[in-house]
Structure formats: C-alpha cells, structure tokens
Amino acid sequence: MKIAIIGTGNLGSSIAKGLINNKSFTSLYLSDRYPKAVKRFEEVENVSITNDNVLAVENSDVVIFALQPKHIDGVLETVKSKISDSHIIMSVAAGVDIARIENILGADKNIIRVMPNTAISIGKSMTCIAANSAGQDKVPLAEEIFNQLGTTMIIPEDLVQAATVICASGIAFWMRLVRATTQGAIQLGFEAEEAHELAVQTCFGSASLLIESRRHPEQEIDRVTTPSGCTIEGLNEMEHQGLSSALIQGIVASFEKINQLKKS
Ligand SMILES: NC(=O)C1=CN([C@@H]2O[C@H](COP(=O)(O)OP(=O)(O)OC[C@H]3O[C@@H](n4cnc5c(N)ncnc54)[C@H](O)[C@@H]3O)[C@@H](O)[C@H]2O)C=CC1
Ligand SMILES: O=C(O)[C@@H]1CCC=N1
C-alpha cells in the first residue's frame, strides 16, 4: 500500500509513527510545509519526507490529510488536479464534512472521513470511519489500515462530530482525570512519580476490566463498593460535587464548539 500523509503535526506524526511501527506500507510519503515532527523517520526504509504535497499525492494510492480545518481547503485545491478516481482520500480534519471535500475534489472521488486519536502512535486508537457514496467499497481498506493501529468503528457521517468529542478530545478528558487522581494521591502522601504510576495503572486496569469482562461499569462499581465502606463514601461525594454532570456538560460543550467550527 502506497500511503501519503499530508500534514505531519500532532496527529499526522502519530499516524506515521503507528504505520512505521507496523511496517504497514510499501511506501510512505510524509509531507508538511515544516516537516520537523517527522525528521526522526528520515532513515526509515521506504519513508520519504518532503514539503511537496503534489509529489506525495502523485506517489501514493491512499492520501491522509491531517491538516487543520483552516488549511485543508487550500491544500486540496493545490493537489486536486493530481487526484484520480483510484486515489483513496482520507481526512482527519475535525469539523470538515465530506460535502466540503466533495465540493473541491468532486463527489466521484473516494472520500473517507477518519477520526482517530493520538493513541494511534502506539496502536491503541479508537478510530471512527465514514465514507461518501463513491468511497463505500474502500471502507474495508480503511478498516484494514486503522485496525492495525487500534480499534475501528464504522459510523454514519452525522455521528462523526460526536465521535470526535468522545474519542479524539476524549484523550484529553481522560488525561485530566488521571492528573486529578495523581494530585489526590500526592495529597494523601505519595511521591509524584508513585502517584502517577498508581493513577495510570488503575486507569489501565479499569479499562481492561471493562474490555475483558464486557460488564457494565456499574457492575464493576458494585464489586468495589463495600457497604458503608470508603469507596461509596468517596463516590457519592464526587457525585455531590457534580462529577458525572461535569463530564457530560463538558462533552456537550465540546460538541457545540465542534459544530460551530463546522460552520466557520
Ligand atoms: N490532535 C489530535 O488529537 C486530533 C486532531 N484531529 C484533527 O487533525 C487535524 C490536524 O491536527 P493536529 O495534528 O493536532 O494539527 P497540527 O497543527 O499539529 O498539524 C497540522 C500540520 O499541517 C501542516 N501544514 C499546514 N499547512 C500545510 C500545507 N500547506 N502543506 C503541508 N502541511 C501543512 C502544519 O505545518 C502542521 O505540521 C486537525 O484538523 C484536527 O482537528 C483529529 C483528531 C485528533
Ligand atoms: O481540539 C480539537 O479541535 C481537535 C479535534 C479533536 C482533537 N483535537
């Protein structure tokens, strides 16, 4: 598979790292106006680093646009004459819908909207995928690529904004929960590094329990909350302070913001 990534900032370089770790390409073009984030991949076999987007498109079958929404239209305009019906165009740009890309490239092109998160760099992304009509038969290929880099879910395009909040922004939300737990642990007497490890491993254990047992979170909570014990005391206090409500309101605020970005 000949792949190009146009825009190798936070997300583009994370995707590149994941692809390189898996050796899941025959050639990989990494194109950015300032390709400093991927300089470290210069020596990797079959990887080319360039600031020539057209060259990257011409030498690839799958082109992943990992550009900020304000840049994507301009870049698509400059490469559109090189994009053929056999290219598979993927975009990770938040708030940029398929219709906007079709307006520039044409609805006859294979266009797939992909929403990964930065855990893609370690093969643990939750990635949502939606395609236009022309690109429907290319969805299995998108799944094949992104299943190597984590877990995928095919969703209707009208849920991609919501998926962006839950899965892409979600990384930041979970990080903040881990940090808050760390701060609590330090207050209770642990050194910062110990506190961090305790928080991260407990977070990892919680997610693993849900994945492996397939039980509902409340069932797992019931197994921890000894009657009149310390867990239910802490949990109820967190709820009195609005933990669930704060999370839900934050998710909704994030969703409202991404819908504004779509209009701008
Ligand atoms: N960072 C994240 O966790 C996630 C980001 N996204 C979306 O992915 C996209 C990229 O986000 P980030 O990587 O965080 O942004 P970023 O700003 O780190 O990376 C964008 C890259 O595009 C490059 N670029 C700009 N104009 C260019 C041009 N004309 N030609 C070639 N390269 C050009 C920039 O130099 C930069 O390296 C955004 O649309 C964002 O909404 C989606 C999911 C998660
Ligand atoms: O914050 C943002 O707008 C982008 C989209 C999801 C993650 N980063």
Q: How far is CA 2 from CA 37, 56, 60, 87, 90, in A?
A: 21, 10, 5, 10, 13
Regarding whether 182 and 114 lie in a shared domain, the answer is: no
Q: What is the value of ipTM here, to two decimals?
A: 0.97
Regarding whether 191 and 121 lie in a shared domain, the answer is: no
Find the helix packing angle between 230-240 and 243-263, rounded to 10°: 40
Mean pLDDT of the chain: 96
Regarding whether 188 and 106 lie in a shared domain, the answer is: no
Domain boundary, last residue among 134, 155, 176: 155
pLDDT band of 263, cuts 50, 70, 90: low
Ligand 1 centroid from CA 69, angstroms = 8
Regarding whether 179 and 140 lie in a shared domain, the answer is: no
Domains in the chain, number: 2
Domain boundary, last residue among 133, 155, 177: 155
Which pLDDT belongs to residue 237? 98
pTM of the model: 0.93
pLDDT band of 261, cuts 50, 70, 90: confident
pLDDT at 207 over 90: yes
Task: Please report, for the domain that includes residue 252, its CATH number.
Answer: 1.10.3730.10
Residue ranges making up the domain that contains 182: 164-263
Which pLDDT belongs to residue 35? 87
Ligand 2 centroid from CA 94, angstroms = 6
Regarding whether 138 and 118 lie in a shared domain, the answer is: yes
Query: What DSSP string runs through the chain?
Result: -EEEEE--SHHHHHHHHHHHHHT--SEEEEE-SSGGGGGGGTTSTTEEEES-HHHHHHT-SEEEE---HHHHHHHHHHHGGG--TT-EEEE--TT--HHHHHHHH-TTSEEEEEE--GGGGGT-EEEEEEE-STTGGGHHHHHHHHHTTEEEEE--GGGHHHHIIIIIIHHHHHHHHHHHHHHHHHHTT--HHHHHHHHHHHHHHHHHHHHHH---HHHHHHHH--TTSHHHHHHHHHHHTTHHHHHHHHHHHHHHHHHHHHH-
Ligand 1 pocket test, pick from 68, 72, 90 with the greatest ligand atom count within 8 Å of Cβ, gives 68
Task: Please report, for the domain that includes residue 118, its CATH number.
Answer: 3.40.50.720
Regarding whether 182 and 146 lie in a shared domain, the answer is: no
Regarding whether 183 and 118 lie in a shared domain, the answer is: no
Residues with CB under 6 A from ligand 1: 6-12, 31-34, 53, 66-69, 71, 75, 92-94, 115, 117-118, 168
115 Cα nearest atom in ligand 2: 6
Regarding whether 76 and 21 lie in a shared domain, the answer is: yes
Regarding whether 92 and 211 lie in a shared domain, the answer is: no
Residues with CB under 6 A from ligand 2: 94, 164, 168-169
Regarding whether 130 and 93 lie in a shared domain, the answer is: yes
Percent of the chain with pLDDT over 70: 99
Regarding whether 256 and 125 lie in a shared domain, the answer is: no
Identify the residue whose C-alpha is closest to ligand 2 atom 8. 169
Rounded to the nearest 5 degrees, what angle is found at the Cα of 62, between the Cα atoms of 35 and 86? 140
Ligand 2 centroid from CA 191, angstroms = 32
Instruction: Convert the pLDDT of each residue in 79-94 to its tens digit.
Output: 999 999 999 999 999 9
Instruction: Convert the pLDDT of each residue in 89-147 to its tens digit.
Output: 999 999 999 999 999 999 999 999 999 999 998 999 999 999 999 999 999 999 999 99
Ligand 2 centroid from CA 38, angstroms = 20
Domain boundary, last residue among 155, 177, 199: 155
Regarding whether 150 and 28 lie in a shared domain, the answer is: yes
